[in-house]
Structure 1
């Protein structure tokens, strides 16, 4: 008698779809490669909760790593802002709602440039997946209310702190009126996700071109990360001749804002900006809005 095998666990959000079999369409002005920069502005709890580590902190309160992360909002973000201004590059500001309360003027400085605001939970000291459905719904509602009150707008998109989703996160975001989410890195094109109330769009968010996995986890150098940006851009520009693609670059000011990383990153972004006639330099929200109109 054969032993009973459990059926495989599936998420049921999207179907299998190989890239070569999909319809070919264009981004605005006939472009085939959309490039956006996701600038993560985050706050953390002192002496508790989660947080990226530059080095082992040796217990709480972890002054070493807490102050390293706090430097990003006080100094690094402003250096990155100057770089984006100098190169004429837009960005999607992926901000914890508490940044608006604890760092007044920071998010506003990006929004004054016309940049997009993306929801990113309350703080990066917590994970959505650790919450009950009711508590997660309350988190989304609380953060959205802060964005509307402090920034004067509610975001169209959402990225969970620590790329953390529960089994119902896409459903809750759809029900809360969000148009797209950024947590999944499963494709180079936007994908419709099924939800219990309808659907929500998934826009590709990078885990390779992301300074936390690259620099903090794999200890890639600043120059190495910049080289990754250039190599990815050049390769995707060629690949986009046969299909519309999305290239995201995810940065955190407390990582890439430091001078030895910012300088090579600035050169890499200048390489991208020099091709502005060949690609669509945009935001994640603009990618979502265009894709929603053309995707079957």
Structure 2
């Protein structure tokens, strides 16, 4: 067949938010203090409805009654796991980006207060992870974003500048609505190892890298990885990215959920992995939060 007779294909649907930009062609200044690798903890504090809605599952939902097993398993994170993780972060002197369901202000406000007291960044994460915002009409979605923003500011005195949608669920309008609400960055996109400027109807929105590989839900729940294996994965990711960062500054996020990594048998291995990063990266690692990464990238 002659080339000029090959049928034309229509262009694929595109998000139009950013252009293709291969990482090896970019120039980005070093992080504060001349550091090369920005590392942050994306610590998810979530609350779920009892007997309805979405939620990670340890086992199939019970038939004919409320799903006690999976609800109670997730609730362990708020009652026990998050407090154990908080102790670990304090021991290692690590900041956290706390990705927050506002339903926690009704359920266990003292947990949120404990992280806010130590100066951790609070990041919008919807009202509950029992619901998804992806299918909402635009004005309903904007109302959700606005109400969560106001609640965090009212309760904790800190207006959030970043957002992660529950279940990473977006509508086509989500970036526009976040920018309209005054947000500076989103964690919904996992397409890069450096921040990306996204186009919206209300100006630029920064996409700070949020991991879907270095993330305990897809690794432990979906792929059934063990605690030691997940810790080894964190160490391997760090060691390789630290080497890569000699060429250009990079971002490494670690996404954690306390009902998973707060289980004692996993917490021991998380402690090992984070201690390795602290000890090995004293000269070149910037322990930080997503908001500070957005600020530094925009400066």
For the criterion TM > 0.5, the same-fold answer is yes
Partner of 2:153: 148
> 1:157 aligned to 2:165?
no
Aligned residue number for residue 285 of structure 1: 291
Q: Of residues 229, 240, 248 in structure 2, which corresponds to 1:235?
A: 240
Q: How far apart, CA to CA, are the structure 1 residues paired with 2:186 and 2:139?
A: 19
1:70 equivalent in alignment to 2:79: no
| Alignment RMSD | 1.3
Q: Normalising by structure 1, what TM-score?
A: 0.96
Pairs aligned (count): 293
For structure 1, the 5+ residue unaligned runs are none
1:178 corresponds in structure 2 to: 183
Distance 2:8 2:273 in 1: 54
Q: Are 2:120 and 1:115 aligned?
A: yes
> TM-score when scaled to structure 2?
0.95
Paired residue secondary structure (1:199)? strand
Q: Secondary structure at the match of 2:199?
A: strand
Of residues 112, 129, 136, the one that matches 2:134 is: 129
Alignment check: 8 A CA contact 2:34 2:284 kept: no
Displacement of 1:215 after TM fit? 0.3
Instruction: State how 1:1-296 maps to structure 2 within 5 Å.
Output: 5-59=9-63, 60-274=65-279, 275-293=281-299
Question: Would the aligned equivalents of 1:156 and 1:178 in 2 still touch at CA under 8 Å?
Answer: yes
Give unmatched runs, 5+ long, in structure 2: none
Q: Distance in 2 between matches of 1:190 and 1:108?
A: 29
Question: Quick one: distance in 2 between partners of 1:155 and 1:289?
Answer: 13
